[in-house]
Amino acid sequence: MDLAYLAQLPPQEFIDRRRRVFEQMQDNSAFIIFTETEKRRNADCDYLFRADSYFWYLTGFGEPKSALLLIKRQGRAESVIFVRNKDPLMETWNGRRLGVENAPQALNVDHAFDIENIEAIFAEKTQNLTACYYAKGVQTWGDALVAKHFAEPIDWQPMLSEMRLIKSTAEIALIQQACHISALAHLRAMKQTRPNRYEFEIEGEIQHEFSRFGARFPAYNHIVASGENACILHYNENDQVLKAGDLLLIDSGAEFAHYAGDITRTIPISGKFSEAQRELYEIVLEALKEATKLLVPQSSIKVANDKALRIMTEGLVRLGILQGEVEQLIADKAYRQFYMHGLGHMLGLDVHDVGEIGKERDRPLEVGMVLTVEPGLYIASGANVPEKYKGIGIRIEDNLLITEYGNKNLTCGCPKEIADIEGIMAGKNEI
């Protein structure tokens, strides 16, 4: 299967993004952004390289040790890319490079230079300019160079984050694919889960499905958390044996063409939920469904979260896990012991994507935003609750696109009803 054609944004998309940056830059200013550097894992082995998301957003260029410089001088725009020079010996050992000569045409920029010459060329190109847009401390290898010429750069993060917050049609298509692949992977995990396998074996099943559909990387480290491990929100040791009777929380999302999916499902290792697990699961599922109805234009994450935590507080009182009056418990944030994270986050090039959504997460939602909805309940074994609920952790997470008429659930293909999950695990439901 040739997947490469799917994994591209149209080149015009990157040109348009840079044009929008030029429009927002003040006259006689520079804008510079660096990508990630290679990271050593051990000895002479590196982690696999992934471009910085801001840099990728403006260039679509995935090699390390690169920088993009935009110049706006007397109203005229110039785009310059710095890349590694071609080097036959290094390329034989470590892989191909685009090279300086090919870069202008391949990346639709005006000029390209060897990254090794960036000091001198940056100094020359920015002469007499009055301002520089630069985010200090993000890719720190560029900090000293910029500081030499501009003492107080203007942070470009607010500008780029705002642009990244609203997704284009082409971006939505890629996110949709990431979500679709993620859903297929969770489905495989449901079919492959049984007692006595290891958590990392299920991780492997998920990774297998990602690769089969063109997503080589996960968007974040897989969380495959059985039993009480599910109460560790970003658990990723993934090295325990699955025990009969426990739940398995899987939080895994594919990265497709640099865009993230982010799905969580919680399933019974033996194929059937116990009564106590079912009671808690139904509460989280109801919170998810009701919150989803409120994640629509003009509403906000805060509005939906208020609804979710009310449902979960009522549920916890019903089960005798919390005692007291619901209003007071909500006012006291009593749920925080069992629900200690936010309802969701933006999704895009990064799994926790950028974008100012308000301190209280109360910015009105807009068409083209993509976000997660992921309520959860985590009852640690040391909690002072009825015995049967101890050590149960449940999260259910979907991904939503905000549309003109409400939202579109991009991960609805991934089963989450108890009957559907149990049916798939019993081999009865072929979805």
What one-letter code names the amino acid at 231? C
Q: Please report which helix (H) or strand (E) contains residue 73, including its range.
A: strand 67-73
Nearest approach, Cβ of residue 207 and Mn ion (Å) = 16
258: exposed, middle or buried (C-beta count within 10 Å: 0-12, 13-18, 19+)? buried
CB of 261 to ligand GLY, least distance (A): 10
Contacts of 181 (CB under 8 A, 6+ apart): 209, 210, 213, 214, 215, 254, 256, 261
Q: What is the pattern of x (binds Mn ion, CB under 5 A) and - over residues 212-251?
A: ---------------------------------------x
- Measured from the CB atom, the residue of 51 and 371 that comes closer to ligand GLY is 371
Q: Are 68 and 88 in contact (CB under 8 A)?
A: no
Is 378 part of the annotated catalytic residue set? yes
Residue 413: how many CA atoms within 13 Å on its side-chain side? 16
What does DSSP say about strands 131-133 and 29-34: parallel, antiparallel, or unpaired?
A: parallel
Q: Judge whether 404 counts as a catalytic residue.
A: no
Q: Which stretches of the chain bind ligand GLY, using CB under 6 A? A: 220, 251, 262, 345, 351, 374, 397
- Rule CB under 5 A: is residue 372 a binding residue for Mn ion? yes
Could you confirm whether 420 is annotated as catalytic? no
To the query of whether residue 395 is one of the catalytic residues in this protein, the response is yes
Residue list 376-415, contact with Mn ion (CB under 5 A) = 397
Q: Which single residue brings its beta carbon nearest to ligand GLY?
A: 251
Window contacting Mn ion (CB under 5 A); options: 173-181, 325-333, 369-377, 399-407: 369-377
* Active-site hit among 44, 124, 404, 430: 44
Q: For residues 356, 360, 365 and 371, what is the CA-based torsion angle, rounded to 10 degrees?
A: 70
58 and 21 in contact (C-beta within 8 Å)? yes
Q: Confirm whether 96 is a catalytic residue.
A: no
Q: Between helices 301-318 and 275-294, what is the axis angle to 10°?
A: 160
Tell me if residue 344 falls in helix, strand or coil.
Answer: coil
Nearer to Mn ion, 176 or 372 (CB): 372
CB-nearer residue toward Mn ion: 246 or 397 = 397
Measure the CA–CA gap between 249 and 231, rounded to whole angstroms: 9
- Nearest distance from residue 175's CB to ligand GLY, in Å? 15
Which stretch, 25-33, 150-158, 257-265, 417-425, contacts Mn ion (CB under 5 A)? 257-265
DSSP per-residue codes, 36-63: ----EEETTEEPPP---HHHHHHH----
Token pair for 98:
């685009």
Closer to Mn ion at the Cβ: 59 or 372? 372
Q: How far is the CB of 296 from ligand GLY (least distance, A)?
A: 21
Q: Is 252 in the site for Mn ion (CB under 5 A)?
A: no
Among Mn ion, ligand GLY, none, residue 302 binds (CB under 5-8 Å by kind): none
Question: Going edge to edge, which strands form the sheet with 29-34?
Answer: 111-114, 76-83, 67-73, 29-34, 131-133
Let me know if 222 is a catalytic residue: no
| 180 given a catalytic annotation | no
CB of 233 to ligand GLY, least distance (A): 8
With binding defined as CB under 5 A, does residue 262 bind Mn ion?
A: yes
Residue 36: name its binding partner from ligand GLY, Mn ion, none (Cβ under 5 to 8 Å by kind): none
Instruction: In angstroms, give the least distance from the CB of 374 to Mn ion.
Output: 5
* 63 vs 262, beta carbon nearer ligand GLY: 262
Nearer to Mn ion, 79 or 264 (CB): 264
Given a contact cutoff of 8 angstroms between Cβ atoms, the answer to whether 219 and 253 are in contact is yes
Shortest separation between residue 251's beta carbon and ligand GLY, angstroms = 5
d(CA 253, CA 230): 17
Catalytic residue among 194, 208, 234, 336: 234
Is 335 known to be catalytic?
no
Catalytic status, residue 23: no
Contact 324, 334 (CB under 8 A): yes
Least separation, in Å, of the C-beta of 38 and ligand GLY? 25
Reply yes or no on whether 352 is catalytic. Answer: yes
Q: Which does 220 bind (CB under 5 to 8 A by kind): ligand GLY, Mn ion, none?
A: ligand GLY
Element (H, E) at 104: helix 103-107
**111 is known as an active-site residue:** no
The three-state secondary structure class of 417 is coil
- Cite the active site residues: 44, 234, 251, 262, 341, 345, 352, 374, 378, 395, 397
Binding region for Mn ion (CB under 5 A): 251, 262, 264, 372, 397
